[in-house]
Amino acid sequence: MPALFEPLKLRSLELQHRGWLSPMCQYSCDPDAAPGVPHDWHLMHLGSFAAGGAALLVAEAAAVNAEGRISPRDTGLYNDAQAEAWERITSFVHRHGAAGAKIGAQLAHAGRKASTWWPFSGNHGTVPAADGGWNTVGPSAVAFDGFAVPEAMTTDQIRGVVADFAAAAVRAVDAGFDTVEIHGAHGYLLHQFQSPLTNLRDDEWGGDEAGRNRLMLAVVDAVRAVIPDSMPLLLRISATDWAEGGVDLAASLRLAREAAGRGVDLIDVSSGGAVAHQRITPGPGYQTGFSAAIRKEAGIPTGTVGLLTSAGQAEHAVATGQADAVLIARAALRDPHWWLRAAFELGHDIGWVPQYERALPRRAF
């Protein structure tokens, strides 16, 4: 059996293989009629990947409160209407997915990168209040390039965000998600607190590395406390800021070890996003080394992402111990049946949905 298609068990969650869907924001909610509520587009989007053979779909970032949305068109899990809409999607994935598809919620707060124009709006930067925007918050009153200056959060606001993550996790469980991922990467709020480039505080929520990591780990503790013990908890991090003076791999290793001791079951390893002056040289597998190091030195399962587009690349990452799972994003947008194709190319059968089985004899791939 190809390594990519070996089963993986995290706590009581049994996944048929290690090819997963990475979260991808769709910026498609109706900000006027139903802010933060996923709808038919999200059902179609995620449902297509479930039918296409992904073993685990990590849904797009769901904000834990209204001000935590990346844009006015982002999803949330901060009210019951949103949770009910997500339940329709989780039920669809469970009923109609190939390879016993499971689905995870990604809980997020965008911090100083909130209230922005969505990518296909034709605009850039912070959405003004007249167009549905809002004031943003962050660890310090330092703006991301081209965005509005955020308000430095008070201690009460910080503790409120921790509570919001916990409340969103409860809604995720009630909505039928099989796992929860905390978004601590890509320059969003938890990463903003972690990075010395964006956290200039000198109180308990800043200063040294322990202070900068405090919010991320408080959220881990709060979410772990409210989800079932049988449910795995994932944490997405940026292993490096790709900028001098920022988070580096050594710091991420220390964070990963601490997170593992607090009940995180897998680190979803990405990188970058904290500052605009980052210097990245991307290429196929350019982030797998980070995943491999965290997996080996922190002793925790990892997922890897980033320009892994072919079955051979994904198989190599798992077979060589660089990651326990490979999360596919843009390649899946180009081919929503990426996992069926990958299994065929690697000589394995993961089981097709019955509606598509007529394609099997002709080996359409």
Spot the catalytic one: 78, 188, 286, 356: 188
Question: What's at 244, amino acid-wise?
Answer: E
Cα angle vertex 89, ends 87, 91, to 5°? Answer: 70
- CB of 73 closer than 8 Å to CB of 28: yes
How many CB atoms neighbour CB 106 within 10 A? 24
Tokens of 232: 């795995």
C-alpha–C-alpha distance, residues 45 and 26, integer Å: 9
Cα angle vertex 267, ends 325, 49, to 5°? Answer: 45
Is 27 among the catalytic positions?
Answer: no
Going by C-alpha positions, the residue among 103, 68, 46 that lies closest to residue 38 is 46
Using CB atoms within 10 A of its CB, is residue 124 exposed (0-12), middle (13-18) or buried (19+)? exposed
Cα angle vertex 258, ends 252, 264, to 5°? Answer: 95
CA distances from 308 to 92, 107, 267, 304 (A): 27, 24, 18, 9
Q: Which residues are catalytic?
A: 188
